[in-house]
A and B are shown apart, each in its own frame.
Chain A
């Protein structure tokens, strides 16, 4: 198939950036979206033009590196997958595709399609952990955790920290990301002792980073490649309230 691509090109964080149009020829259905980009980049290099920079690593939907906003949707048209898992059979001959970086004040563009997401690391440092000194742990079966609680914590822990939730939200809110971590840890018995400090710390850092407020539009849930549920945000709100009144 042949495609018209409009790709965001921006030299660095100071540059204002613009869309540049490319023709992708003979794209195969079996290619992944990023392989289509690889082929385009090889052609650009052959012509002496700088290839398009984009973040990627695992290319199997788990590291959270890839971060493409494709035709107005974080990670593209398909539900429940990342851009690196998207295959070209989701497109058809003659399609026009817009490819942009995540857009959010807290995620400044570094180059082309690459943004700075270190705000997420700083939020984690503000309480997204359990203080369990290495070497001090008791036997793993000493505290039983019922099957459903473990599964529910795992649902939240599945977050890959890609930032699609922020990119999808009109307020650029990071509530889904933060709530996934809080929900994961506060459901487990091991995570309960620090739950207040965790909720207060992570929320304060989130605000400091310049993420927007949550107005419950649900766009984050709809675009999350791991299908993390918005109900975690409700749990976060309860945790935060609980911590604030203490």
Chain B
């Protein structure tokens, strides 16, 4: 299989404009004859549904929550980047492009990232027009803050609820289309399979989560905007329902899965408090604007933080990275926190935490200012830990947060299966081996508002898509397989709950495929995951029936997909004999414990092909070329 990213030729800055001129168009009267399925109502799916509906396509949109507005995007806190240069601090489209490619440790495509930076400015305009109440200065102009990996202030925000406000904007635009009848909403519907006919994506099979009914839907194109797969680690900052089922099942129907091992671990999360822990809560990266990260210089120091004198504190990020300080990118901050904990200098009961201290900024700016900036986050922290961060420094530790990997797509955001488009966190396209803060919201909305309405026309306008019905054997076959899996899950009636398996998988993943990986641990993880999967099929216990609302059954389907995806993730990590971005292989580090990238051998995206159960996946390489940026070792010192 030859992977062609179809990056348009020409100048970097003109590629997208040129490409749009050459894309095929669908005439307005014909648009409503095309049926497009969008799975997902997060930023990517809601914005795609709204923009495709506005163009006049006939859109059906699915989500597993009871309302499109509850998609995981709602939880994003800190902000969204855009190269507006409203601050006059030297920002530009090129600088945002450069920061993103460098932040991604040179494992993303130049063409895609430049388009993303170009579109970033339109996103802010569009969102304001839809009523997003971004923070404003007293003069009425939009305000900005700083995020990691950048030396300019380009992050737009709505208190600590930026994702909520952007999603409500996209959801309202989608709701308007629903009222007009161009978008039909299917809530509490879970996609359980992709249907491919003659090599082309032609529809999906779903389960109605209230009645249990299995249904098929045909389409002229299918758009997956189903989010990331961070919950393969069980504990993560993702919503409990976030899952990989849609993309994993599409993968098993032929879509390539690219760079699964590129997973982001966020440095500032509230540490685990016990075995009952069900998810981890993020403390936004924006806190690192004013909080200082430290641990005691001495090992095993059990003093209260306020009793540790200044000269006995190690502000390790400021010490090691003087030019970025506490605002180094996430992968760097996370790894350094882990290192000091491994040295025995961690704090708190579990010793798996570092301090994030606001003492100095409260002294400098006053408590009121800190409260205005981070009030809701401080409250959230106190709610969970029963400690007051205005007095005692926060305790934080890294946690799984975001997945850069995902289904492989070309420049048009189409997978290798024609007619299957993948948007948002579900695809692999823009963040390379590490995503910079405030860039996921940007990507989701760029994909949905501005890329897909163009590239969808390019695909449908090229014609050649014949009508199919749900009577086609491919639909019948997919339905039968879905039903068969459900009845199998319900019939095992073994000894362990679904959560038991999910937690066990999470532990393997975190211990061996987490922040630091090595060949020995990865091989062990692969064997352990296989064994766990076998045990699942023998001993899982799923009660109730398939013809009703059944949360254990829903989880079981998702966990079995995680049990397969986890193995691929570990294999991808094992094959990549270098350290880059979120992927840190202990064997490949410099003397100063920094990541050692290997551009000569690994400057490519690894796109894996599914070849059947118990068969080894086959890797296809998309070689990355850098024409506008000089490959350099990534330094934040």
A interface residue numbers (CB < 8 A to B): 11-12, 28, 30-32, 34-36, 38-39, 42, 45-46, 48-51, 53, 55-65, 81, 85, 87, 89, 110-111, 114, 116-118, 120-121, 124-126, 128-141, 143-147, 150-151, 153-154, 157-158, 160-161, 184-185, 188, 190-191
Interface residues of B in 120-176 (CB under 8 A from A): 122, 124-131, 133-142, 158-159, 161, 164-165, 168, 171-173, 175-176
Closest Cβ of chain B: how far from A231's Cβ, in Å?
17
**A129 surroundings in chain B (CB, below 8 A):** 130-131, 172-173, 175-176
**B111 surroundings in chain A (CB, below 8 A):** none
Name the residue among B66, B178, B185 with the largest chain A CB count within 10 angstroms.
B66
Contact of B54 among A133, A160, A185, A190 (CB under 8 A): A133
Per-residue CB contact flags for chain B residues 544-562 toward chain A (1 = under 8 Å, else 0) read: 1000110110000000000
Q: With A39-B276, A42-B499 in contact, do A131 and B176 touch (Cβ < 8 Å)?
A: yes
Cα A141 to Cα B141 in complex, Å, equals: 6
Cα A130 to Cα B383 in complex, Å, equals: 35
Q: With A32-B278, A57-B70, A85-B380 in contact, do A134 and B131 touch (Cβ < 8 Å)?
A: no
Q: Is the CB of A53 within 8 A of B50?
A: no
Q: Which residue of B lies closest to A86 (CB)?
A: B383
The 6 lowest CB-CB distance pairs between A and B, nearest first, are A144-B140, A129-B172, A132-B129, A137-B129, A137-B125, A125-B179
Sampled A-B contacts (30; CB under 8 Å): A28-B274, A32-B384, A34-B278, A38-B499, A45-B497, A49-B543, A50-B543, A53-B549, A53-B551, A57-B241, A58-B75, A59-B278, A59-B279, A60-B75, A61-B380, A62-B161, A64-B74, A87-B383, A121-B68, A124-B171, A125-B176, A129-B131, A129-B172, A129-B176, A130-B130, A134-B449, A138-B129, A146-B136, A150-B135, A161-B67
B interface residue numbers (CB < 8 A to A): 47, 50-51, 54, 65-70, 72, 74-75, 84, 86, 122, 124-131, 133-142, 158-159, 161, 164-165, 168, 171-173, 175-176, 178-179, 185, 187, 210, 239-241, 273-274, 276-279, 281, 380, 383-384, 386, 449-450, 453, 497, 499-500, 541, 543-544, 548-549, 551-552
**A85 surroundings in chain B (CB, below 8 A):** 380, 383-384
Q: Is the CB of B138 within 8 A of A147?
A: yes
Cα A139 to Cα B280 in complex, Å, equals: 37
Q: Which residue of A lies closest to B125 (CB)?
A: A137
Cα A45 to Cα B69 in complex, Å, equals: 31
Closest Cβ of chain B: how far from A119's Cβ, in Å?
10
**A87 surroundings in chain B (CB, below 8 A):** 383-384, 386
Q: Is the CB of A117 within 8 A of B67?
A: yes
Q: With A30-B273, A32-B278 in contact, do A184 and B131 touch (Cβ < 8 Å)?
A: yes
Cα A89 to Cα B125 in complex, Å, equals: 45
Contact of B142 among A131, A137, A140 (CB under 8 A): A140
Q: Which residue of A lies closest to B281 (CB)?
A: A60
Q: Is the CB of A28 within 8 A of B276?
A: yes
Contact of B278 among A11, A38, A53, A140 (CB under 8 A): A38
Closest Cβ of chain A: how far from B170's Cβ, in Å?
10
Q: With A63-B70, A89-B386, A134-B173 in contact, do A140 and B125 touch (Cβ < 8 Å)?
A: yes
Cα A163 to Cα B69 in complex, Å, equals: 13
**A58 surroundings in chain B (CB, below 8 A):** 70, 72, 74-75, 239-240
**B168 surroundings in chain A (CB, below 8 A):** 157
Q: With A30-B274, A35-B277, A118-B187 in contact, do A145 and B136 touch (Cβ < 8 Å)?
A: yes
Q: 6 extra interchain contacts, Cβ-Cβ under 8 A, other than A45-B543, A58-B72, A141-B142?
A: A87-B386, A121-B187, A132-B126, A144-B139, A150-B135, A151-B133
Q: Is the CB of A114 within 8 A of B543?
A: no
**A81 surroundings in chain B (CB, below 8 A):** 383
Q: Which residue of B lies closest to A78 (CB)?
A: B383
Cα A89 to Cα B382 in complex, Å, equals: 12
Q: Is the CB of B126 within 8 A of A137?
A: yes
**A51 surroundings in chain B (CB, below 8 A):** 543, 551-552
**A131 surroundings in chain B (CB, below 8 A):** 176
Q: Which residue of A lies closest to B282 (CB)?
A: A60
Q: Is the CB of A157 within 8 A of B140?
A: no
Cα A231 to Cα B624 in complex, Å, equals: 56
**A42 surroundings in chain B (CB, below 8 A):** 497, 499-500
Q: Is the CB of A59 within 8 A of B187?
A: no
Q: Which residue of A lies closest to B126 (CB)?
A: A137
Cα A12 to Cα B161 in complex, Å, equals: 35
